Structure 1
Amino acid sequence: MTLPPWPGVPIVQAPMAGGASTPALAAAVSDAGGLGFLAAGYKNIEAMRADIAATRELTSRPFGMNVFMPSLDEIDPAAVAVYRDRLLPEAERLGVSPGMPSARDDAYEAKVAALLSDPPGFVSFTFGCPSADVIGDFQRRGTVVIVTVTTVEEARQASDADVLCVQGAEAGGHRGSFANTSDEPVPLRTLLQDVRAVTGQPLIAAGGLGTAEDVAEVLALGAAAAQLGTVFVRCPESGASAVHKAALADPRFTSTAMTRAFSGRPARGLVNRFLTEHSAYAPAAYPDVHYVTSPLRKASAAQGDPDGVNLWAGESFRNATETPAGQLVATLSGG
């Protein structure tokens, strides 16, 4: 399986919503022959467009933009309110108030329309699969469409996409599953082979990859490229917070776990106090819980407290260094 028109080496920098994926990072990765990715999640249309424009100023190479599908969760407002009340002491300690639930579609339709008017070379979707019409609209404009999948059934549902990003259990940040369930995620190597057995689409392997050896292994298993996120977080071009970057190298943090505590959706991060104390109580309510915890997370980061913020990290987090992104792409591709 080969990828559609590809910029060079089979390295994809994962789109990381929340600040890590900057134009500087995406451009540096693309200039090094990989595929850099921006993230539209949580941003307004103007900020998304500004990121695309800034990246085009920095590189003439292909890059991508990731879009969140609208949440289809059936929310229990009472459960969200109970969780919000639980966080009141945390908020008081930080000098803020918990947030209130807001729009649940992340301006999906408006973002799609804006991207179709001036599309980048690649567009990827997370938390679901867009309609065949949307996929076709991008394809007719020459944009390669990638859909993130976490199960064989999701892969079957995304048969119209050009490429599938196969995300295993080891991945940092949000699990990109179509539904907000508690199903046990499948390890990457198993999932990659299972998906490869049911589709001829090119596959991008994602989840816990951190070394050139990891990349070579998934390519040998049939992936057309490897997607890595956590190892890029400490790069100088990354926009991740200083607290997040430092935590990835802090010996106090020794493991990762999946949690709904910060957003209401399963996501893997470093095990810190907030994750330990609140994971068992967080409802399956995305993005409602994200809105509730947002002021707390921002305040914790601003106050330099790694125990009160989401420290998204895959199982390979110890491989994250302060290496410039272009150099890291060369290392990961065996150069």
Structure 2
Amino acid sequence: MSQWTDRRLLDLLGIDLPIIQGPLAGVTGAAMVIGVCRAGALGSLPCAMLGPEQIRLEVQAIRAATRNPLNLNFFCHQMPAVDVEREARWKETLKPYYQELGADFDAPTPVSNRAPFDETSCQLVEELRPEVVSFHFGLPDPALLDRVKATGARILSSASTVDEALWLEARGCDAIIAMGYEAGGHRAMFLSDDLNTQVGTMALVPQIVDAVQLPVIATGGIGDARGIVAALALGASAAQLGTAYLFTPEAKVSAAHHHALRHAKESQTALTNLFTGRPARGIVNRVMREIGPMSPLAPAFPRAGGALMPLRAKDEADFANLWSGQALRLGVELPSYELTLRLAEQTLAQLRRR
């Protein structure tokens, strides 16, 4: 497909379609990425919840199936100091659920962890040499970032405000992912923890496009070709879709998550910090309703989820994070390859009618 008029991102990343599969930590594996890459879009492997050997094996599987450009995605958070008192108060808040479900409250609390980009991650990038490396929550230490850039990888990172986009541009990003308030999963916010700074996709994308000189990728509430067309009309060079790929058979979603995605209404998602300690959008379930989706008691990211793990093991529907964006009702059940091609074909068809 050579009919795309804005080729800035296509040429920059070496892809054929202005579509990026959002990195869905804990859900995306090699099979989904392979389908997206084979279709000509950019497949993204989320690495924050994988160990080095797991990442290596996933990349080997992807490279064996396709040589098209690949994105490795990493988190850039700072690991917090352990706050024993806060974690004890948080677990005490959850004690009635332990008693109700028969979970062992006195057992050691599991550790919920997501690894930030570090020296080991950097060495892995230098070894595996992905064409694209994307980051969430800002950028890594400048010395590490310089080493990533030295591999030839293009650098992407997510911004949830214009100020964040300008910060990323000034520090060497090659393209900016403009993340609207509607997006599922963790907010990209890193210059502020004030949720009042967050802006919807339709308002955010054109303001970032006007503020930076880099190609912009729109994400958040984009669930089908109509959303991609809208993103392109707002000045974005491409769209990133996450929730849409949760409906593919390659997505490693639990039965409870699968059911929620297919039955929740568009109004039944909310930002919550209960599951990790950082705001992320998911489908509202019992624990979010009863405690409230945002709690000052939740330990700092990523440690909040540990105390919920024994409850999740008993009742996943009510005590697990069911990440989803607001466009979940647009999801269709197709393999990742077919979904990607369908999105591109329908987008081109709509653009021709304009």
* TM-score normalized by the length of structure 2: 0.86
**Structure number with bigger Rg:** 2
Which structure's residues are more often helix, by fraction?
2
Secondary structure, in 3 states, of the residue corresponding to 2:239? strand
Q: Aligned letter for 2:78? A: S
Matches within 5 A, 1:262-277: 262-277=275-290
Q: CA–CA distance in 1 between the matches of 2:325 and 2:112?
A: 28
Show the counterpart of 1:119: 129
Please name the residue that 1:12 is paired with.
20
Matched, 1:308 2:319: yes
Question: Residue 297 of structure 1: CA displacement?
Answer: 3.0
Gaps of 5+ in 2: 1-5, 347-354
Identical counterparts, % of pairs: 32
Counterpart position of 1:293 = 308
- Cα deviation for residue 310 of structure 1 reads 0.9
Partner of residue 191, structure 1: 204
Alignment partner, residue 63 of structure 1: 70
Residues 26/94 of structure 1: CA separation in 2 closer, same or farther (3 Å cut): farther
Name 1:43's counterpart in structure 2: 50
Query: More deviation in 235-244 or 259-268?
Result: 235-244
Partner of 2:35: 28
* Deviation, structure 1 residue 275: 1.3
Deviation at 1:284, TM superposition (A): 5.8
> 1:178 maps to which residue?
190
Distance 1:117 1:86, change over 3 A: same
Please report how far the alpha carbon of residue 217 of structure 1 lies from its aligned counterpart in structure 2 after TM superposition: 0.6
Q: 2:97 aligns with which of 90, 96, 100?
A: 90
- Could you tell me how far apart the structure 2 residues matched to 1:9 and 1:272 are? 36
Q: CA RMSD in A?
A: 2.3
Name the residue aligned to 2:139.
129
- Contact map agreement 2:221 2:327 (CA 8 A) in 1: yes
Determine the C-alpha separation between the residues in 1 that align with 2:234 and 2:213.
14
* Aligned pair partner of 1:167 in 168, 176, 179: 179
1:210 partnered with 2:223: yes
Q: CA deviation at 1:76?
A: 4.9
| CA–CA separation in structure 1 for the residues paired with 2:113 and 2:249 | 33
Distance of aligned partners of 1:94 and 1:53 in 2 relative to their CA distance in 1, 3 Å threshold: farther
Contact 1:70 1:108 in 2 (8 A): no
In structure 2, the CA distance between the partners of 1:174 and 1:5, relative to structure 1 (3 Å rule), is closer
- Structure 1 gaps of 5+ residues are none
Q: Name the amino acid aligned to 1:289.
A: A
Q: Equivalents in 1 of 2:57, 2:118: separation in Å?
A: 17
Q: Does 2:273 match 1:260?
A: yes
- TM-score by length of structure 1 reads 0.91
Secondary structure of 2:173's match?
coil
CA deviation profile, 1:49-107 (whole Å, cap 9, x unmatched): 11111111222211111001132657754233211111233344163557345767546
2:334 is equivalent to residue 319 of structure 1: no
Q: Distance in 2 between matches of 1:296 and 1:104?
A: 19
